[in-house]
A = this chain, B = another copy of it.
Amino acid sequence: MERTGVLGTGMVGTAIASKLVELGYEVKMGSRTSTNESAAQWVARSGAKASRGMFSEAAAHGEAVFLCVKGDAALDAIGLANRENLEGKTVIDVTNPLDFSKGMPPTLFVCNTGSLGERLQVALPASRVVKTLNMVTSDVQVDPKRAGGDVTMFVAGNHQPAKEETSMFLRQFGWQDIIDLGDISAARGMEMLLPIWLRIFAAFGRGHFGFKVVRSA
């Protein structure tokens, strides 16, 4: 694989796109408009392997595509990307269904009996959605040592080869302990980590931490 797409230009999209360039991939960062300032700045500082375009162009470019937009924009971004551009591809879902409309801390706009990961898989029946990386801050996503020790990452999805492809990216990012939680409905548990993540963040005053699943041998 040589080409990856990254949908989203915020902290998560920028961190993942930059790491992918560093790893040697040709990365196209996608946004809603062709004039996105964050994407332009990222391209300007990221060298010849970095490019930008509309969501649809980044989706078409990538052999695998990272979805890094805000949770409440995720289904809309997928629609703008045009699902034909994502057919047969692994879509790595890093989103969280955070609802900031009711004040802080945010709640989840779907949980318990559903998840954003599942909604995305339903919206993209010909793609292979894998949920991962949503429960750590962007610095830690692309450099797990930044959490301060050995941390666990989870993957969930309906397609085993897509989870293996995702795990290959995760290992390139530095993740060593990767637990496969099964089908995409396990995205519920992964997204439902956000409320305790937010409370730990408040208690520590920083986001450089992660969850290690300690278990007997």
Contact = CB atoms under 8 A, between A and B. Distances in A.
Nearest to A192: B192
Contact of A214 (B147, B203, B217): B147
A147 B196 contact: no
Contact of A199 (B186, B195, B217): B186
Contact of A189 (B112, B154, B195, B212): B195
Contact of A181 (B148, B190, B196): B196
B211 A212 contact: yes
Each complex incorporates copies of this chain amounting to 2
Given A148-B214, A210-B214, A216-B146, A196 B192 contact: yes
A179 B196 CA distance: 11
Main secondary structure of the interface of A (DSSP, over half): mixed
A156 B15 CA distance: 33
Contacts of A188: 195
Interface string A181-194: 11000101110110
A192 B197 CA distance: 11
A113 interface: yes
A195 B196 CA distance: 13
Most buried by B among A186, A198, A202, A204: A186
Contacts of A179: 200, 203
A39 interface: no
Nearest to A148: B216
Contacts of A190: 196
A209 interface: yes
A102 B113 CA distance: 10
Interface of A: 102, 107-108, 111-113, 146-151, 154, 156, 179-182, 186, 188-190, 192-193, 195-200, 202-204, 206, 208-217
21 contacts: A107-B112, A111-B111, A112-B195, A147-B216, A148-B215, A148-B217, A149-B214, A150-B214, A151-B214, A180-B203, A181-B199, A182-B199, A182-B203, A186-B196, A190-B196, A206-B216, A208-B215, A208-B216, A209-B213, A209-B216, A210-B214
